[in-house]
C-alpha cells in the first residue's frame, strides 16, 4: 500500500456506505433494471467500495480450492488466502505478516500477498520478493508482460491472480489482493489491510475500481 492507499483507508468507508445504501434502496424500489449488475441470487448491487459489503455475495462454482484441480499452485494459494479471512491487525497496521516480512506496523496489503505466495512456495511466481507497496510490484508484472488491465482480452481474472485496485480515481493502482474465484460477471478476492483485517469480497468484473490483474508465472 502507498500514500494513496492510506488516504483511501481513512476516507473510503463512509463514502462507500452512503453509495451502497442509496443503490440498495433504488434496487429494492425498482427491481434489477435499476442497477448495473444482478447477482445469481437476485440482488442488484452497484458497488463503489467493497468495505460497504460486509457479507459478500456467494459466487457459485468458482472456488478452485474445492474444485478438481486441488494440486495446482493456484489452488494452494487460494486455500491459504481463504484460511486467513477474519485475521485482524493489532494497533496501527501491526500484523504477523509484517513481522514475517520485517516491515511490521506498516501498510500491509501487498505484504499479505507476498506472505501467501511465499508460504505456498510460489513467491518467485509473483516477483521473488515481498513488495511493501503496489507501485513496484505492478512494474514487475508489466516488465514481464504479465499485467493485464481490466477488460483486456485473455487478461483474467483467474484463481491465484494478483488483483490491483484504484480506489482513488484512475491515478494508478493503490491496493492489491488475490483472486480466489470468479464467474462470468463477478470476481471474488481475499485482501489484506482491507480496513483493519483480511476480508473476502466480491466485485463486478467490470468495476471501475479494478485496475487490472497480475498473472503469476506458475
The count of structural domains within the chain is: 1
Q: Is residue 197 part of a domain?
A: yes
For residue 141, the enclosing domain spans 73-214
Q: Is residue 158 part of a domain?
A: yes
Q: Is residue 147 part of a domain?
A: yes
Would strands 147-149 and 210-214 be described as parallel, antiparallel, or unpaired? antiparallel
Which secondary structure element, helix H or strand E, spans residue 134, and what is its range? Answer: helix 134-143
Q: Is residue 179 part of a domain?
A: yes
- Picking from 144, 66, 131, the residue whose alpha carbon sits closest to that of residue 74 is 66
Q: What cell does 171 get?
A: 491515478
pLDDT digits (tens, 9 = 90+) for 76-127: 999 999 999 999 999 999 999 999 999 999 999 999 999 999 999 999 999 9
Sign of CA dihedral 204, 209, 215, 216: negative
Q: Is residue 210 part of a domain?
A: yes
Residues contacting residue 213 through CB under 8 Å, at least 6 positions apart: 147, 148, 150, 155, 156, 157, 158, 161, 162, 163, 164, 179
Residues contacting residue 172 through CB under 8 Å, at least 6 positions apart: 4, 135, 166, 211
Q: What percent of the chain has pLDDT over 70?
A: 68
Q: Is residue 162 part of a domain?
A: yes
Q: What cell does 203 get?
A: 466485485
84 or 23: whose pLDDT is higher? Answer: 84
CA separation for the pair 148, 139 (Å, rounded): 12
pLDDT digits (tens, 9 = 90+) for 46-64: 233 444 333 344 444 445 4
- Judged by DSSP in three states, 6 sits in helix
Q: 40 pLDDT exceeds 80? A: no
Q: 29 pLDDT exceeds 70? A: no
Q: Is residue 88 part of a domain?
A: yes
What pLDDT was estimated at residue 1?
Answer: 59
Average pLDDT, the chain: 77
Q: 26 pLDDT exceeds 50? A: no
- Judged by DSSP in three states, 22 sits in helix
Q: 67 pLDDT exceeds 80? A: no
- Picking from 148, 217, 218, 145, the residue whose alpha carbon sits closest to that of residue 187 is 148
CA angle at residue 191 from 173 to 42, to 5 degrees?
100
- Picking from 85, 48, 80, 82, the residue whose alpha carbon sits closest to that of residue 209 is 48
Looking up residue 183, the CATH number of its domain turns out to be 3.90.1720.10
CA separation for the pair 41, 154 (Å, rounded): 27
Amino acid at each position: 500500500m502507498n500514500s494513496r492507499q492510506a488516504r483511501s483507508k481513512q476516507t473510503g468507508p463512509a463514502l462507500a456506505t452512503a453509495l451502497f445504501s442509496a443503490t440498495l434502496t433504488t434496487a429494492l424500489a425498482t427491481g434489477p433494471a435499476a442497477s448495473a449488475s444482478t447477482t445469481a441470487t437476485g440482488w442488484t448491487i452497484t458497488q463503489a467500495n467493497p468495505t460497504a459489503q460486509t457479507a459478500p455475495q456467494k459466487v457459485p462454482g468458482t472456488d478452485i480450492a474445492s474444485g478438481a484441480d486441488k494440486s495446482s499452485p493456484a489452488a494452494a494459494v487460494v486455500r491459504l488466502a481463504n484460511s486467513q479471512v477474519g485475521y485482524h491487525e493489532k494497533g496501527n497496521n501491526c500484523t504477523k505478516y509484517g513481522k514475517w516480512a520485517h516491515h511490521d506496523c506498516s501498510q500491509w496489503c501487498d505484504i499479505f500477498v507476498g506472505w501467501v505466495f511465499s508460504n505456498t512456495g510460489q513467491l518467485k511466481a509473483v516477483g521473488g520478493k515481498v513488495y511493501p507497496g503496489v507501485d513496484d510490484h505492478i512494474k514487475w508484472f508489466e516488465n514481464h508482460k504479465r499485467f493485464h488491465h481490466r477488460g483486456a482480452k485473455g487478461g483474467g481474472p483467474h484463481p491465484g491472480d494478483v488483483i490491483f485496485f484504484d480506489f482513488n480515481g484512475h491515478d494508478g493502482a493503490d491496493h492489491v489482493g488475490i483472486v480466489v474465484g470468479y464467474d462470468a460477471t463477478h470476481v471474488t478476492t481475499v485482501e489484506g489491510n482491507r480496513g483493519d483485517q483480511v476480508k473476502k469480497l466480491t466485485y463486478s468484473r467490470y468495476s471501475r475500481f479494478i485496475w487490472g490483474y497480475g498473472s503469476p508465472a506458475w
